Structure 1
């Protein structure tokens, strides 16, 4: 993936759940939003993330996940993004 003035694609996709959950600073939200506005591949990926989040919200209602679970999920998602990017790199 490419780099943009608004931030690196891998970094943005790693933080998309923080962005969706409003769990990052306003400055970071601005950087992520700017990147998504300018990067079609990340925007498509973000659209998928939004749909997954909406589905989970419909199924689970207003239940709050324990913070330990959230951290484990974020770590696993970060690993998957890195694995996905590594697999796509030539050579």
Structure 2
């Protein structure tokens, strides 16, 4: 019985690892784009640390809020890189 549990656990871990690798590959085709998120539509924590969850942006296009966009499309959408957003927040 112990061998069966060990094999089941190993199989489950291998399958989970495959899913994680697929998700990471999909994320590599995207980039964070600051200043384009609408209220309640940000993807995760903001730069200034006032929240740490997706969907908590309170204003449209705040420079500290971000969304994932396809790589290379951020500037065309009017967004900023992480460095540009940090510089804007320091002003």
TM-score (norm 1): 0.23
Instruction: Tell me which of the two structures has the higher relative contact order, counting C-alpha pairs closer than 8 angstroms and 6 or more residues apart.
Output: 1
Larger helix share, 1 or 2: 1
- Report the TM-score when normalising by structure 2: 0.23
Q: Which has the larger radius of gyration?
A: 2
